Amino acid sequence: MKIESRVAIIALILPLIFAVELARAQANPDPRLIEGARKEGEVVFYTTMTLDQSKEVMDRFQKKYPFIKPTLFRTGGGPLLNRILTEARGGRHAWDVVAGRAEMYVPLMDRKLLASYRSPEAKAIDEDLVDKEGYWTAYYVVTYVLGWHTKSVRREDVPKTYDALVDPKWKGGQLSFDNEAYGMLQGLMRAWGRERAIAYFRRIAAIDPSMKRGNTERVALAAAGEYPLTVAYNQTFERMVARGAPIDWLPLEPAVVTAFPIMLAAKAPNPNAARLYYDFSLSKEGQEMMRTMQRIPVRKDVEPHPPRLFRGYKRVVENPEDYKDFEGLVRLYNDIFKLR
């Protein structure tokens, strides 16, 4: 058989083997994990994801594993981190799994509050979304993109690059920018290096953007024609596109992707149930739930809706390890834009 034919056959077989292995991992969890979780009988999940969506995931998990009682606590990123750290200082370790913002990772790692675990489901997730040492895996993601009001700006005039975005013709409040887009600055630092990223953000500040907090409100204002251009999360734009609003978006490359990590407690009271819940969250079933909730899933075998939300552009993932000095990052950002 010719070498070319062998290569072609291997290319066809490998994806099939990969798919079979994934299906086996989801359909047949480790029996020892199941038995251990059965004895524990409970799992405690802390999260920043909305309460209704978090509860929906937990209800599906309990339906799959009825012998496990799930307990859910949901709050914002800052309050959630403070709760975990306060509990730890008091010697209380109440949670098993946490899913939150990237900046939570370093404080938890510094205090040795996270456990390393490489889920078998990680095989279906790109390497830049999985910690090499197993301390976190992206649960879902969002991407910073550029949106434009389609009645105010022709598609051919929309900036297609970062340099084009800071052209003086967009000066004077024509660009809406988040006054807390720390993740975008951190991501471009990873892609370009610290000095170049800071210099670029100073160029954004020089065109005098309209600074306002929040993605949902700013995108709604942009759809109403308040701003010709807006930098915000792609899924927020896509919701407005789906409603027929006069707005569209495109990624500036490398597009900064914010990963919302899921992590295990180092002193989990229910370590087996914790791993079972972690695996379920990253499984095809769990990730398909993210898609139905209009979130962007991370698995290669679960397409976002629409696929352009996470396909077809160069990206850089805002890495949780990069937040070694989050307070310093905030001060730098505020200094660039003369905030507070």
Burial of 107 (0-12, 13-18, 19+ CB in 10 A): middle
Q: How far apart are CA 241 and CA 295, in angstroms?
A: 15
CATH number for position 134: 3.40.190.10
Q: Do 331 and 195 fall into the same domain?
A: yes
Q: Please report the pLDDT score of residue 14 as a whole number.
A: 45
What pLDDT score does 7 carry?
A: 46
Q: Is 312 a domain residue?
A: no
Structure tokens at 48: 């920043």
Q: Does 207 share its domain with 332?
A: yes
Query: Does residue 8 lie in a domain region?
Result: no
pLDDT(24) > 80: no
Q: Are residues 50 and 121 in the same domain?
A: yes
Q: Does residue 268 share a domain with residue 241?
A: no
> How far separated are the first and last CA of the chain, in Å rounded?
71
- Say yes or no to pLDDT of 23 above 90: no
Q: Inform me whether the pLDDT recorded for 11 exceeds 50.
A: no
236 and 155 share one domain: yes
Cα–Cα distances (Å) from 201 to 142, 149, 204, in that order, read: 20, 23, 5
- 67: which 2 tokens? 């012998």
47 domain residue, yes or no: yes
Q: How confident is the model at residue 277 (pLDDT cuts 50, 70, 90)?
A: very high
According to the model, what pLDDT value does residue 1 have?
54
Do 185 and 225 fall within a single domain? yes
Q: Is the pLDDT score of 127 beyond 80?
A: yes
Contact 168, 211 (CB under 8 A): no
Residues 228 and 98 in one domain: no
Polymer length in residues for the chain: 340
Q: Examine the domain organization and report whether 188 and 330 are in the same domain.
A: yes
| pLDDT on residue 27 | 56
Q: What is the pLDDT of residue 303?
A: 96
The answer on 270 and 188 residing in a single domain is: no
Rounded to whole angstroms, the Cα distance separating 153 from 166 reads: 16
Q: pTM for this one?
A: 0.88
pLDDT value of residue 19: 45
Q: Note whether 185 and 266 are same-domain residues.
A: no
Place of tokens 């079979």: 20
Is 266 among the domain residues?
A: yes
When pLDDT is averaged across residues 214-232 and rounded to a whole number, the result is: 96
Q: Does residue 314 belong to any structural domain of this protein? A: no
- 188 and 238 in a single domain? The answer is yes
In a domain, 296, yes or no: yes
- At 96 the pLDDT is 98
Please indicate, yes or no, if residue 316 is contained in any of the structural domains: no
> Are 126 and 266 found together in one domain?
yes
Residue whose C-alpha is closest to residue 120's, from 283, 237, 8, 2: 283
300 lies in a domain? Answer: yes
- With 50 as the cut, is the pLDDT of residue 57 above it? yes
Which tens digit of pLDDT belongs to each residue from 77-101?
A: 999 999 999 999 999 999 999 999 9
- Helix (H), strand (E), coil (C) string for the chain: CCHHHHHHHHHHHHHHHHHHHHHHHHHCCCHHHHHHHHHHCEEEEEECCCHHHHHHHHHHHHHHCCCCEEEEEECCHHHHHHHHHHHHHCCCCCCCEEECCHHHHHHHHHCCCEECCCCHHHHHECHHHECCCCCCEEEEEEEEEEEEECCCCCHHHCCCCHHHHCCHHHCCCCEEEECCCHHHHHHHHHHHCHHHHHHHHHHHHHCCCEEECCCHHHHHHHHCCCCCEEEEEHHHHHHHHHCCCCEEEECCCCEEEEEEEEEEECCCCCHHHHHHHHHHHHCHHHHHHHHHCCCECCECCCCCCCHHHCCCCCEEEECHHHCCCHHHHHHHHHHHHCCC
Range of the domain at 173: 142-257+325-337
State the burial class of residue 338 (Cβ atoms within 10 Å of its Cβ: 0-12, 13-18, 19+).
exposed
**Spatial CB neighbours of 309, under 8 Å, sequence gap ≥ 6:** 143, 234, 235, 238, 296
The CA distance from 83 to 80, in Å, is 5
**Confidence label for 28 from pLDDT (cuts 50, 70 and 90):** confident
The number of folded domains in the chain is 2
- What's the CA gap between 267 and 143, in Å, rounded? 33
242-267 pLDDT per residue, tens: 999 999 999 999 999 999 999 999 99
